[in-house]
Amino acid sequence: MVGGASGLGAATARALHEAGASIVIADLNAEKGEALAGELGERATFVEANVMEPEPVQAAVDAAAGADGGLRISVCCAGIGWAQRTAGKQPHDLEIFHNVIKVNLIGTFNVLRLAAQAMVDNEPDDEGERGVCINTASIAAYDGQIGQVAYSASKGGIVGLTLPAARDLASRGVRVVTIAPGLFDTPLLAALPEETRAELGHQIPFPSRLGLPDEYAVLAAHIVENTMLNGETIRLDGALRMAPK
């Protein structure tokens, strides 16, 4: 569970743990990660990891692979955001664009490639499945707003790699599925005033509220159980199509 210390990742860690899975929480935030592992108790551990660095992610993968049954579920929720127009008083900061791509897109692929490599050595189940990798994009991949050029590009890249990665891994019995959430009540939005949060929620056709991390977790758990879900990006957005701004 990469990016599992808070928000969507923490909710998914709780859901999968409750379903009986052993959980390795990988995150940069050691305080929150260790607290969540302590809350979950047995079958939960924390590994401090930066998605952009191969060695810490490999350590998290090794920790999961060493658990009973091996590494069979990988969920990556790690990511950052940034708002800046392409051009204005000055051109978009190239280093920031690079960093957003590096964390969101390359970081996700780093997790995917290392987790999938561990999964191919698993014993297949009755359907021949050895594992499933769940990535997190955003509806900004499709409906990017003004100022979201870096963020949308990074999330669009995750959408774009989903099908070819699933095809790459099909012969090994490893599935790849991406969830593209809309506006969710995560720590990023928690910093906004309540009035602003309510206004954002009212933009969603139905239900007219912010999405709940538990709703992401329910979908992730279903993806794990439904073998026919593969190579697809699923929008989880209450029918929201974001306006330009």
Q: Which residues are catalytic?
A: 151
> What value, to the nearest 5°, has the Cα angle with vertex 165 and ends 161 and 167?
125
Q: Which two tokens stand for residue 65?
A: 């692979």
Contact 74, 127 (CB under 8 A): no
d(CA 103, CA 96): 11
Q: What 3-state DSSP class applies to 203?
A: coil
DSSP state of 42: T
Number of other residues whose CB lies within 10 A of the CB of residue 42: 6
**Share in percent of the chain as helix, strand, coil (round to 5):** 45, 15, 40
Per-residue exposure over 123-150, b if at least 16 CB sit within 10 Å of its own CB, e if not: eeeeeebbbbbbbbbbbbbbbbeebbbb
| Beta bridge mates, 131 | 174
DSSP 8-state class, residue 46: E
CA 146 to chain centre: 23
Q: DSSP letters along 134-160, please?
A: EEE--THHHHPPTT-HHHHHHHHHHHH
